[in-house]
């Protein structure tokens, strides 16, 4: 048996799914054929008797590239649990205890048998996420480029003609505003969308607004606080959630606290709101690689905030409370991995006390378990999903099996309840657009099908529904929405396909607590099947190869593209449900 592949940890390996249920996980090599966990209350026996656990068969739930993942659910009667594992490979059996692998189930290596333990299932320690987020399809809007309403212009900047392609600089504005978004909410709702995610809308001097100057003021170029209230109220009347973007890792040069520090140096009462390392910190230059103070990505115009400072914590928690009072349903935290854990824990406690189902989303590009233990974020931007799907579509040498390994790995990182609300996406304002990366509308729609029929809270970047392309280079991924083309019917065909795929989210809600079964090999034919406890199945076929294939049509067709009878052409999609 490959003992080096056997792995169990006390954080992701045994955790509370709800107030009554623990989920136990174990990772093994692919040579393992069965796993049992022996579990019971640690005090179940009489004093002096040898402790015995009840045998529970573990289910093989995922195959990764080099290992298998096994899982079991346990309902401990007395809220405590003690356990060990019996691992079988052919005729060989080994046993895993807290102090290592042993050849006997007795577990005796010293005076005390070192069983694994889950001390107590405290309700306050359960990782609870907003259940509504499991059923929402988000729509990300870059406000300056989405829609311009002449009634919404409150600023005085020079506005470029809508859609003109030479506005690549951060200081070029096209005049998209909150009124414009409000005017298009019916369009967004008709796409099948359930929530809006707006990139920053607070006062700034750039079109991206990630260098905030005033956190208390809607940027006049976008409108007013009344415009924001009206937008949220109208969105809610249409059943749409609204998520705002919080830029608390850093600020802009005109933020009042930074201005005070620039004027008064160490005498400023806000000096400790930042990370300043050199008394000559205010010397000119666009980069902070000289270390005079810390900033986001060495950009001098975005000084880094000290979110370890209690005053900073309280200031930004109050900002969030104001957004919640306006009706915000979610908050996305920019550069969410650099904000202090202490701040996030305090923020969650205070905000959830006001609005328990508020959705807290962190922008983190890497594995994020420390932020997803139930006391900080509810979810993160799932770049593992994005890269898994995009890499498969871009790299034609990757097989469906490679895709399965990558997605299974992405879904093995976090608690089950977190997987249900992971913020999955194909692209956003920080990467090349999906259709540009994969190179075709066929590939884009296949990616979209995976996005909608996998666990999580999927997000669509504005313009994806019309096949909008663009590279991150020179901000080509932030082009103006082509409303003239939409209204002329230019994009009717792809919008129709988009709506049909997004509508699958309602079907998939029957399977969000189900199990996935992959049927793939060393080719580019993707097939996975979701099964629920009522015996229903959702089967997805994606033909990412260059030749047609025959598939088994054994259930009603929920959606198809390039399907002739039972023949699925190259680039085709078939989703069966029943």
Q: How far apart are CA 312 and CA 250, in angstroms?
A: 11
Angle, CA of 135, 137 and 142, to the nearest 5°: 150
Which among 28, 78, 20 has a CA at the least distance from the CA of 58?
28
127: left (phi over 0), alpha (psi -120 to 50) or beta: beta
Q: How far apart are CA 518 and CA 179, in angstroms?
A: 45
Q: How far apart are CA 44 and CA 59, in angstroms?
A: 25
Residues whose CB falls within 8 Å of the CB of residue 439, separated by 6 or more in sequence, listed in order: 394
Q: Which residues pair with 59 in a beta bridge?
A: 71
Question: Which tokens in the block code for residue 241?
Answer: 């959630």
Output b/e per residue, 149-186; b: 16+ Cβ within 10 A. Answer: beebbbeeeebbebeeeebeebebbbbbbbbbbbbbbe
Catalytic residues: 334, 363
Are the beta carbons of 409 and 454 closer than 8 angstroms?
no
438: left (phi over 0), alpha (psi -120 to 50) or beta: alpha
Are the beta carbons of 195 and 210 closer than 8 angstroms?
no
Torsion on CA atoms 320, 322, 328, 330, rounded to nearest 10: 10
> What element of type H or E holds 528?
strand 525-531
């Amino acid at each position: 048996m490959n003992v080096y592949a056997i792995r169990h940890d006390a954080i992701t390996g045994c955790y509370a799914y709800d107030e009554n249920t623990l989920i136990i996980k174990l990772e093994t090599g692919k040579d393992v054929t069965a796993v049992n966990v022996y579990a019971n209350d640690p005090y179940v026996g009489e004093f002096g008797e040898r402790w015995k656990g009840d045998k529970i068969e573990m289910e093989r739930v995922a195959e990764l590239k080099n290992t298998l993942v096994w899982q079991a659910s346990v309902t401990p009667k007395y809220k405590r649990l003690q356990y060990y594992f019996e691992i079988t490979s052919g005729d060989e059996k080994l046993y895993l205890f807290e102090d290592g692998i042993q050849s006997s189930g007795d577990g005796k290596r010293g005076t005390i048998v070192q069983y694994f333990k889950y001390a107590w299932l405290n309700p306050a320690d359960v990782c609870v996420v907003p259940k509504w987020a499991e059923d929402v399809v988000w729509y990300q809007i870059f406000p300056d480029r989405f829609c311009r309403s002449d009634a919404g212009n409150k600023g005085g900047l020079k506005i470029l003609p809508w859609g003109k392609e030479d506005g690549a600089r951060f200081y070029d504005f096209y005049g998209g505003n909150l009124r414009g978004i409000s005017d298009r909410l019916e369009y967004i709702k008709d796409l099948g969308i359930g929530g809006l995610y707006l990139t920053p809308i607070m006062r700034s001097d750039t079109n991206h607004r990630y260098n905030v100057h005033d956190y208390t003021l809607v940027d006049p170029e976008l409108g007013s606080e009344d415009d924001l209230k009206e937008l949220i109220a109208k969105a809610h009347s249409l059943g749409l959630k609204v998520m705002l973007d919080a830029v608390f890792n850093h600020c802009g040069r005109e933020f009042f606290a930074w201005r005070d520090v620039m004027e008064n140096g160490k005498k400023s009462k806000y000096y400790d709101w930042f990370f300043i390392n050199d008394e000559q910190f205010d010397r000119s230059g666009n980069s902070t690689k000289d270390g005079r103070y810390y900033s986001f990505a060495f950009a001098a115009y975005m000084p880094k905030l000290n979110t370890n400072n209690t005053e900073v914590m309280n200031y930004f928690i109050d900002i969030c409370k104001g957004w919640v009072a306006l009706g915000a349903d979610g908050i996305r935290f920019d550069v969410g991995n650099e904000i202090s854990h202490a701040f996030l824990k305090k923020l969650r406690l205070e905000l959830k006390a006001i609005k328990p189902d508020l959705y807290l989303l962190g922008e983190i590009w890497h594995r994020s378990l420390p932020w997803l233990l139930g006391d900080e974020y509810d979810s993160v931007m799932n770049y593992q999903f994005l890269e898994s799907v995009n890499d498969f579509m871009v790299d034609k040498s990757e097989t469906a099996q490679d895709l399965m390994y990558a997605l299974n790995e992405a879904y093995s990182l976090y608690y089950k309840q977190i997987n249900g609300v992971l913020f999955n996406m194909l692209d956003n304002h920080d990467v090349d657009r999906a259709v540009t990366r994969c190179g075709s509308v066929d590939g884009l729609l296949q990616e979209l099908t995976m996005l909608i029929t996998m666990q999580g809270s999927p997000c669509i970047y504005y313009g994806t529904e019309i096949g909008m392309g663009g590279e991150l280079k020179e901000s080509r991924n932030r082009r103006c929405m082509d409303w003239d083309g939409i209204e002329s019917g230019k994009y009717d065909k792809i919008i129709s396909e988009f709506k049909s795929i997004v509508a699958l989210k309602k079907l998939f809600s029957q399977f969000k607590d189900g199990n996935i079964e992959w049927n793939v090999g060393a080719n580019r034919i993707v097939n996975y099947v979701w099964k629920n406890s009522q015996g229903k199945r959702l089967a997805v076929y994606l033909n990412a190869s260059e030749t047609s294939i025959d598939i088994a049509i054994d259930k009603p067709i929920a959606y198809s593209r390039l399907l002739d009878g039972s023949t699925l052409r190259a680039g085709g999609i078939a989703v069966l449900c029943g």
